């Protein structure tokens, strides 16, 4: 059977956005099912692909979605994998992550999704929902009601049972199709393998005995390293009798899949079975170092683990994948579940989950330290890849009696990811949950592990500030400071004072902000604390001084931060220092210098997915642009920023100081363009996507002669004060 032809590229159109995985090997068969899916999706907005485990639902849905006519997917096809999500409340976060959404507001994750999808035409592939069917059904119902051009392909073993749902049951392959799959995969494993008269009967027999389930066929092919097709067919008899699972009412295909997996398991060596079971504790993908730490010992030496892992890869039990963070490994969910049953049967599940938790606690701690280094980008990518495992570790801590403090520590330690990489909403979820559980168990004010609770409190306050949610932020910071003073935790006091000063700054209490930020910097210096947080406090103090017209002091502080960041390879805080320096350059009438600084600032913010830093930079770039004489482009940038702000929080924090560049830019642009033209151009900017906006802002420059834009009147120069000294780099980063 020849390969199914792909569409003519000319008719397929240009690549559309989305996150569908690229097919690494040839997709076999399913042309009729693909056509049926397209027909169903044209008539209904929800199609659920159902079928037994191992029938190939996930691969088929991803493949078929890539063929959907582009008029139904103008904004792309996006796939969300839910197999590794264990808590119903995390479904929304996982979906937002799959869509590439970052949101800094106090809105619920559901509202963020509703707002994002309401105006888009896209196809969402929701894969592996069966263990979360109620939560997923409610979410899909709400999304479809709010987004008229959204279509959903749900993939699971059962329907969502929603009105308007079309079902597409996926049956096993026909025997010839299964034989084609067998031959294709065998040829990849054993170059030169082909179907011929000498092996055709045996291959067809193997496929029939495995009910032509794709997963079972691929697992069987993995044994061709050691067995011929004839030997495969011969050995199936004994293995089927030995490993048939389930009762009399269990569907035969479920028995067959279990037999196929169990048979593959039975043919593994003892060490391979042991590693298979232990690897089941991972959620999502994992790397070699994690596997060696968690899974070695007690019969499996660390030095031998790589060889055993390679054997499991060769048998299709584990898959290898290349990522931006390096080589990682993954097990199919069905294969993982089989291993988990074996791990549970030998009574080793809790011990392995504790080792898993310990590894990811250590990883988070190391990444927090490494954040203040030239490896910030690598740290961000590492945490991105490990997020399912970190969630599993957090969940384990929250569910184990007496270990809530570990959840507080882990959630607090990941502050740099929540705040620096656009995951404020999820960070707040874990922080609040761990603090609430501690309080419910009597830990409030009397925790046996106060340091962990205090860290969670100041991080919660920080996250809430960035979301523009000031009342919960103040409550968390006040509780943190009071308890820290009672227990003598000087580090937590410094962080609580710092973040309270940050709160004063964004709520326009500039004198109090300056007082608290200076106090926090003094406290940091006294305890020898130096990290991204400390430098951010110095940047925030500089901004307070800039708001008061004390530009010389503000510039001195930020130039000091800039130098320390260069010395340590720190880039995230450096971006905020560049923003303040650009603000000063613009205020001093130097738009070209301001633009150069803002371009570097925006590049860094976009790399880290820091939405707050990104939109602040674009707002100031709009003002610089109108000062350079291009009022039309300034209006477009303001419109694009306006679209971003709802995902950040309260627009410019509701602050008159932060809002000044926006107001000046709008006033000048309206004066030049007129109200109608200005409104038209801001609407144009509001249609730009996030990446398009950043690309446009970075590519911009002066187009016409510069014009004069009124700058804020400087406050009378106060008596010069000694700039707050930067903490010395005596002892690296410590945690609060």
DSSP 454-513: HHHHHHHHHHHHHTT-HHHHHHHHHHHHHHHHHHT-HHHHHHHHHHHHHHHHHTT-HHHH
Backbone φ and ψ of 662, nearest 5°: -65, -45
| H-only helix segments in 197-287 | 200-209, 214-221, 229-243, 252-267, 270-279
- In whole angstroms, what separates CA 672 from the centre of its chain? 42
Q: Measured between alpha carbons, how far is 317 from 270 in angstroms, rounded to an integer?
A: 15
| pLDDT the model gives residue 162 | 92
Strands (E), 600-654: none
Specify the CATH architecture of the domain 9-169.
3-Layer(aba) Sandwich (3.40)
Q: Measured between alpha carbons, how far is 687 from 681 in angstroms, rounded to an integer?
A: 10
| H-only helix segments in 125-251 | 133-146, 175-189, 200-209, 214-221, 229-243
Tokens at 163, concatenated: 């009105």
| H-only helix segments in 66-191 | 91-98, 109-117, 133-146, 175-189
- Annotated domain spans of the chain: 9-169, 175-267, 278-359, 571-714
| pLDDT the model gives residue 147 | 93
Query: Which helix H or strand E contains 80, and what residues bound it?
Result: strand 77-81
Q: Which of 464, 530, 474, 531 is nearest to 497 (CA)?
A: 474
Q: Measured between alpha carbons, how far is 377 from 384 in angstroms, rounded to an integer?
A: 11
Backbone φ and ψ of 77, nearest 5°: -120, 125
Strand 319-323 versus strand 46-50 pairing type: unpaired
C-alpha distances in Å from residue 730, one per residue of 239, 536, 724, 727, 734 = 64, 18, 17, 8, 11
Tokens at 521, concatenated: 């910097």
| Neighbouring-strand partners of residue 286 | 329
First to last CA, the chain: 64
| pLDDT the model gives residue 224 | 85
Q: pTM for the complete prediction?
A: 0.81
| pLDDT the model gives residue 597 | 96
CB of 212 within 8 A of CB of 56? Answer: no
Neighbours of 36 (CB within 10 A): 16
| pLDDT the model gives residue 67 | 86
Sign of the Cα pseudo-torsion (416, 422, 428, 429, in order): negative
| pLDDT the model gives residue 249 | 44
| pLDDT the model gives residue 3 | 40
Query: Which helix H or strand E contains 388, and what residues bound it?
Result: helix 376-399
| pLDDT the model gives residue 288 | 95
Neighbours of 350 (CB within 10 A): 12
Q: Measured between alpha carbons, how far is 23 from 183 in angstroms, rounded to an integer?
A: 18
Q: Walk along the chain (736 residues) in steps of 10 and give the mean pLDDT of each run.
A: 38 58 81 92 91 83 87 86 87 90 80 90 90 91 94 89 91 91 91 91 89 83 85 68 38 54 77 95 94 93 92 82 85 84 93 96 96 94 93 94 92 95 91 85 59 96 91 96 95 97 93 96 96 96 92 95 95 96 93 95 93 92 93 94 81 70 91 94 91 89 48 39 34 35
Q: What's the CATH fold of domain 278-359? A: Arc Repressor Mutant, subunit A (1.10.10)
Q: Which long-range contacts (CB under 8 A, 24 or more apart) does 430-437 make?
A: 430/394, 431/456, 431/459, 431/460, 431/463, 432/460, 433/398, 433/407, 434/394, 434/397, 434/398, 434/404, 434/407, 434/408, 435/408, 435/460, 437/398, 437/404, 437/407
Residue reference for tokens 């979605």: 65
Q: Measured between alpha carbons, how far is 447 from 126 in angstroms, rounded to an integer?
A: 41
| pLDDT the model gives residue 265 | 77
| pLDDT the model gives residue 649 | 67
Q: Measured between alpha carbons, how far is 301 from 271 in angstroms, rounded to an integer?
A: 10
Tokens at 688, concatenated: 């730009």
Q: What is the dihedral of CA 598, 19, 104, 494, to 10 degrees?
A: -80
CB of 637 within 8 A of CB of 599? Answer: no
| pLDDT the model gives residue 447 | 57
| pLDDT the model gives residue 232 | 84
Backbone φ and ψ of 483, nearest 5°: -70, -35
| pLDDT the model gives residue 652 | 62
CB of 460 within 8 A of CB of 428? Answer: yes
Sign of the Cα pseudo-torsion (618, 621, 625, 627, in order): positive
């Amino acid at each position: 059977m020849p390969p199914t032809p792909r569409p003519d590229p000319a008719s397929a159109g240009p690549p559309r956005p989305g996150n569908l995985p690229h097919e690494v090997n040839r997709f076999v068969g399913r042309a009729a099912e693909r056509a049926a899916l397209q027909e169903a999706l044209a008539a209904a907005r929800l199609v659920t692909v159902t079928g037994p485990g191992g029938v190939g639902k996930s691969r088929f849905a991803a493949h078929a979605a890539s063929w959907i006519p582009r008029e139904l997917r103008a904004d792309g096809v996006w796939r969300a994998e839910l197999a590794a999500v264990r808590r119903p409340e995390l479904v929304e976060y996982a979906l937002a992550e799959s869509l590439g959404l970052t949101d800094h507001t106090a809105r619920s994750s559901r509202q963020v999704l509703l707002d994002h999808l309401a105006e888009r035409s896209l196809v969402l592939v929701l894969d592996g929902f069966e263990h979360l069917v109620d939560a997923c059904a409610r979410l899909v119902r709400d999304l479809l009601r709010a987004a008229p051009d959204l279509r959903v392909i749900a993939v699971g073993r059962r329907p969502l049972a929603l009105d308007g749902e079309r079902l597409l049951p996926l049956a096993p392959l026909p025997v010839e199709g299964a034989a084609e799959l067998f031959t294709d995969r065998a040829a990849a494993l054993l170059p030169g393998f082909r179907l011929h008269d000498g092996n055709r009967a045996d291959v067809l027999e193997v496929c029939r005995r495995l009910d032509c389930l794709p997963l079972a066929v691929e697992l069987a092919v993995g044994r061709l390293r050691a067995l011929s097709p004839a030997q495969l067919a011969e050995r199936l008899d004994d293995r089927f009798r030995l490993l048939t699972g389930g009762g009399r009412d269990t569907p035969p295909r479920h028995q067959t899949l279990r037999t196929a997996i169990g048979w593959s398991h039975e043919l593994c060596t003892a060490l391979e079975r042991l590693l298979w079971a232990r690897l089941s504790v991972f959620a999502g993908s994992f790397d070699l170092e994690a596997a060696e730490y968690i899974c070695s010992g007690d019969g499996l030496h660390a030095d031998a683990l790589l060889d055993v892992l390679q054997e499991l890869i060769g048998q299709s039990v584990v898959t290898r994948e290349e990522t931006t963070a390096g080589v990682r490994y993954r097990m199919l969910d069905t294969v993982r579940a089989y291993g988990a049953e074996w791990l549970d049967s030998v009574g080793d599940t809790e011990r392995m989950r504790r080792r898993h938790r310990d590894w990811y606690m250590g990883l988070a701690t190391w990444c927090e330290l490494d954040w203040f280094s030239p490896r910030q980008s690598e740290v961000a990518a590492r945490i991105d890849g490990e997020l399912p495992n970190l969630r599993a570790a957090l969940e384990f801590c929250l569910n184990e009696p007496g270990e809530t403090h570990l959840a507080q520590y882990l959630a607090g330690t990941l502050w740099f990811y929540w705040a620096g990489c656009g995951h404020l909403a999820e960070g707040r979820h874990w922080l609040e949950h761990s603090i609430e559980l501690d309080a419910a168990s009597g830990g409030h004010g009397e925790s046996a592990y106060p340091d962990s609770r205090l860290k969670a409190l100041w991080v919660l306050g920080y996250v809430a500030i960035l979301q523009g949610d000031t009342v919960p932020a103040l409550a968390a910071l006040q509780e943190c400071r009071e308890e820290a003073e009672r227990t003598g935790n000087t580090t937590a006091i410094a962080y609580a004072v710092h973040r309270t000063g940050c709160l004063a700054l964004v709520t326009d209490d500039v004198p109090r902000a300056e007082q608290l930020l200076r106090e926090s910097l003094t406290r940091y210096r006294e305890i020898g604390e130096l990290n991204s947080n400390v430098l951010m406090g110095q940047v925030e103090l500089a901004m307070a001084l800039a708001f008061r017209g004390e530009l010389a002091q503000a510039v001195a502080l930020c130039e000091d931060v800039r130098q320390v960041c260069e010395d340590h390879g720190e880039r995230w805080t450096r971006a905020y220092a560049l923003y303040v320096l650009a603000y000063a350059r613009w205020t001093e009438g130097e738009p070209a210098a301001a633009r150069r600084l803002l371009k570097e600032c925006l590049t860094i913010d976009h790399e880290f997915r820091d939405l707050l830093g990104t939109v602040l930079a674009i707002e100031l770039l709009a003002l610089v642009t109108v000062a350079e004489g291009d009022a039309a482009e300034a209006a477009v940038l303001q419109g694009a920023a306006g679209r971003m702000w709802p995902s950040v929080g309260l627009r410019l924090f509701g602050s008159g100081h932060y809002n000044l560049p926006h107001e000046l830019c709008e006033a000048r642009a309206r004066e030049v363009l007129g109200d109608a033209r200005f409104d038209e151009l801001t609407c144009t900017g509001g249609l730009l996507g996030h990446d398009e906006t950043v690309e446009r802002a970075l590519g911009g420059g002066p187009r016409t002669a510069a014009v004069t834009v009124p700058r804020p009147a400087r406050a009378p120069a106060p008596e010069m004060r000694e700039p707050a000294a930067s903490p010395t780099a005596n002892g690296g980063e410590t945690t609060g």
